[in-house]
Copies of this chain bind each other. A is one copy, B any other.
């Protein structure tokens, strides 16, 4: 910090107008702080509710101290209850339940083991007692610490293993002095139970935040973000839209999907602790969400590559932009974007993916196939107007990547269908009107848009037909 301050002051001497100096920066930070706090609350109002809930839980458990009869029973160990509430209370119900159960179980088990070791050491005589306890403490602390490196144990029981070491050491070591070890263990367990139940009670019954629900929504939102990018990409890349700067910023929403793995995995771990809530039964297949999430991320990697072409200085020349490749690329992009948005909506509302999604996917696949057959007649693109192969390399790469994206959209659709077919997952059917009636753009199209028919068709629709369809869709 000190050297930064010196550097800032030096900069301040050189160009006072540009650099506000250390004091100025500090002032800025102080002024900005309430604004940032406000934004933090506005972004997710559940954060404010959570903070108030923690305050309430701590207040409730501190009543133990104020009421004489409770205090007489527990004495100074009542502080374990306060400690438990503060340490166990987490944002989501699953995380709180997980920590609470870990803490209670680990305390019980370690308490019993500690008592056993204490008893064993007592039998061994005065001299051997501290040595035996020391050996046990060393061995147990070292081996349980090693177990914490186990990825599966770390994901669900890390906190429990920590508390296990803690309680075992406390009970067995302090048992060496304290003759009333049983009473101490009993008090510790009961205060921890009181604290954990207070935390769980407040967390579950006052505006609960379900990790499972969050995971469900975040997977759906991620798919939607990719859809939004793809809907806007065609216009942006081929410079159809006018106000380019603002649109480019809007398209960057997908970037948060790239690094979503760890938060999804921890949410899935928390969700497993949660009881039935809302639309989700107890053994909801949370693991399957991770599968959908992985597909979404792989699709996002392709989209990140596509995004590189948006900002690339090498653009396709204008005479290429106005041709059929452009038309088909834009169709692939917008249709797969619409499909992903429909799928995200279906997942979010837990409705069986309606025909609209598969209709859009079929259309994007048809556009990809049309592009393939167009490229077979390469004379249409090259030679005639003196266009080099080099000129269409970016367009071909974009088309190729879009074709990958269409495959991923198909895979995402398939995995959402899989999710809806699990026996204990209740996806409601789409409303009859919506299920029977395909999307607007499909309604006005001809027979070749019946889902999954185009793949086996031999006569591809002519460009005029596609043009008229697109006109109807817009």
Contacts and interface: CB of A to CB of B under 8 A. Distances in A.
Interface stretch (A11-19, A53-61, A219-227, A335-343): A53-61
Q: Is the interface of A mostly helix, strand, loop or mixed?
A: helix
B36 A150 contact: yes
Contacts of A139: 55
Contact of A47 (B86, B140, B149): B149
A55 B150 contact: no
B54 A142 contact: yes
Interface stretch (A205-213, A344-352, A381-389): A381-389
Contacts of A304: 298, 301
A240 B214 CA distance: 48
Contacts of A401: 305, 397
Interface string A128-146: 0010011001111111011
Interface in A170-188: 170, 173-174, 176-178
A414 interface: no
A378 interface: yes
A249 interface: no
Contact of A146 (B51, B87, B141, B396): B51
Contacts of A54: 141-142, 145, 165
Given A55-B145, A83-B166, A130 B66 contact: yes
Contacts of A143: 51
Contacts of A37: 146, 150
28 contacts: A40-B146, A40-B150, A51-B145, A54-B145, A55-B142, A55-B145, A59-B137, A66-B134, A76-B174, A79-B170, A79-B173, A86-B165, A86-B166, A87-B162, A258-B301, A301-B305, A302-B308, A305-B305, A308-B404, A372-B390, A375-B390, A375-B393, A378-B388, A389-B389, A396-B396, A396-B397, A397-B400, A397-B401
A262 interface: yes
Contacts of A170: 79, 82-83
B141 A58 contact: yes
A465 to B, nearest CB: 21
Nearest to A177: B65
A304 B295 CA distance: 13
Given A66-B176, A302-B305, A308-B404, 4 more contacts: A51-B142, A51-B143, A55-B142, A86-B166
Contact of A162 (B47, B51, B86): B86
A62 interface: yes
B137 A58 contact: yes
Contacts of A372: 390
Give the size category of A's interface with B: 35 or more
A65 B305 CA distance: 62
Interface of A: 3, 36-37, 40-41, 47-48, 50-52, 54-56, 58-59, 62, 65-66, 71, 76, 78-79, 82-83, 86-87, 130, 133-134, 137-143, 145-146, 149-150, 162, 165-166, 169-170, 173-174, 176-178, 258-259, 261-262, 283, 297-298, 301-302, 304-305, 308, 372, 375-378, 381-382, 388-390, 393-394, 396-397, 399-401, 404
Contacts of A308: 302, 404
Nearest to A43: B149
A173 B87 CA distance: 17
A371 to B, nearest CB: 9
A76 B146 contact: no
Contacts of A87: 162, 166
Contacts of A146: 37, 40-41, 47-48, 51
A366 B293 CA distance: 39
Nearest to A302: B305
A150 B304 CA distance: 28
Contacts of A258: 297, 301
Closest 4 CB pairs of A and B: A378-B389, A55-B142, A397-B400, A51-B146
A378 B397 contact: no
B390 A58 contact: no
A143 to B, nearest CB: 7
Contacts of A65: 173-174, 176-177
Contact of A141 (B55, B178, B259, B390): B55
A178 B71 CA distance: 12
Nearest to A78: B174
A458 B140 CA distance: 71
A381 B375 contact: no
